[in-house]
Structure 1
Amino acid sequence: MRISILIALVLVFSFSVLALSVNETLAVGGAAGIGGKVYTRNHMGDYRETGWANITAQGQNLVAQAKFNQGGSYYMFVPPGNYLVTAQMPGYIDQSYDVSVSEGGAVTLNFYMEQSGVPIPEFHEYATMLMTAVSLLLVIFIMRKRNTANRFN
């Protein structure tokens, strides 16, 4: 009984994901494509491909977000039209380009990101306070346990 329910849930989830991806592709019938690569500098100053950037294309009635692969390439399907394509990445200067894509056409747009010099915060300011408070409470708890154990010895 439990196994059949589990199998049914897995099938429903799988078909839902498949339906969403099909709808995304069908929604842009007569689509065009925007793709390329994003490069950042490594510690030696050489450009290397990266897959961490956030690439968006903003058109008249649409905002599309690109999908990346492991090699740093991105691609998105959009309806024909004019778009402002923007690459954003924490610690780097945002870059934007205006592009025009025709029906069935594809535009290759590579981004060469430069560091902004603004440090990337490792923790949210409240996370540091929370970690400190939890650490202090843990120390107090351990000290009380030690004092209680020492009373009985």
Structure 2
Amino acid sequence: MPTIPQLVEQLAIELKARGQLMATAESCSGGLIAGACTEISGSSDWFERGFVTYSNAAKSELLGIPAALIEDHGAVSEPVARAMAAGAVANAHAHWSVAVTGIAGPTGGSAEKPVGTVWFGWATPEGVFTEHRRFDGDRAAVRRATVAHALTGLLNRLR
């Protein structure tokens, strides 16, 4: 399994080869995906911007997600992850995006959506794809696993 820095290096190679840019829309990871991407020098060649939309208001204001969508499905849901990914591309100069919304814990979980629940969205030139995962561990472990899975998912779609 590649490390997060290795995933970012591979992502950089793929995006630069295409002359394309990516953006992030993050809730539970709080900017860690964007932080990982900008950790390497020259990332401005392929990383356009990151949206940290932790609150529901930020999701609506920055990504254009209707408040009714969040009310109907909850912030941690497939429709919201899909809208976040699409909203990141629509509100940036990017061709690709990754979005994450989840419950990192230790509070905030429920029987329906336990701690560790994360929805992912990837906007690509072919459309928007979503996936649900549940990660074990403490808050830091859930957020680390979220970053790794988000980057892996985008890299797989680029390839």
Q: Rg: which structure is higher? A: 1
**TM-score greater than 0.5 by the shorter chain:** no
TM-score by length of 1: 0.29
Q: Is the strand fraction higher in 1 or 2?
A: 1
TM-score by length of 2: 0.28
Q: Is the helix fraction higher in 1 or 2?
A: 2
